[in-house]
Homo-oligomer: A and B are copies of this chain.
Amino acid sequence: MQLLLNFLTRNKPTFLYGISLAFLLFLLKWLELRFLIINHAFEIYIGAIAVLFTVLGVWLAQKLTKPKIETVFVEKEIIVKKSDDFILNEAELSQTGLSKRELDVLQLMAAGYSNQEIAERLFVSLNTVKTHSSNVLEKLDVKRRTQAVEKAKRLRLIP
């Protein structure tokens, strides 16, 4: 700031001359414009009207038309951790057609019990358990009990 002032005071005459010249040029241009306005008053008036109403039109459009809304749907992925609490998939269960007893056997199979142990826990004979387990394998469309357990867990039939 101080530097600028110094600069101005040291070049005073030059600046005065420059400013005078600029003022004169501005005056000339203004006079010229006045002529233009006087000679073309009508056109300028019309132009002003045009501009004014164009602006009005734009304003009206903005005010009256419904805002253009473009809706963009973005899928937001919510990661849900597979919780430990088990909710039975009843849809899949009915899909398989497993009976209550067969589900019992399946659960014990998943717990790693042998057919004999399952029989003891369910108070039925070994043969009965074998029948049930065969039905389970067939209904789940698998060949081995390990596969049955794997599939049952995948289908949320058992925890």
Contact = CB atoms under 8 A, between A and B. Distances in A.
Contacts of A75: 73-74, 76, 78
Interface in A44-102: 46, 49-62, 65-82, 85
A151 to B, nearest CB: 8
A115 B118 CA distance: 23
Interface stretch (A2-10, A32-40, A124-132, A141-149): A141-149
Contact of A76 (B50, B62, B77): B77
A120 interface: no
On chain A, which size bracket covers the interface?
A: 35 or more
B78 A112 contact: no
Contacts of A79: 78, 80, 82
> For A50, A111, A150, which residue has the most chain B Cβ atoms within 10 angstroms?
A50
Interface centre among A55, A57, A78, A150 (most CB of B within 10 A): A57
A61 B53 CA distance: 12
A109 interface: yes
Contacts of A60: 54, 57-58, 61
Interface of A: 46, 49-62, 65-82, 85, 109-114, 142-151
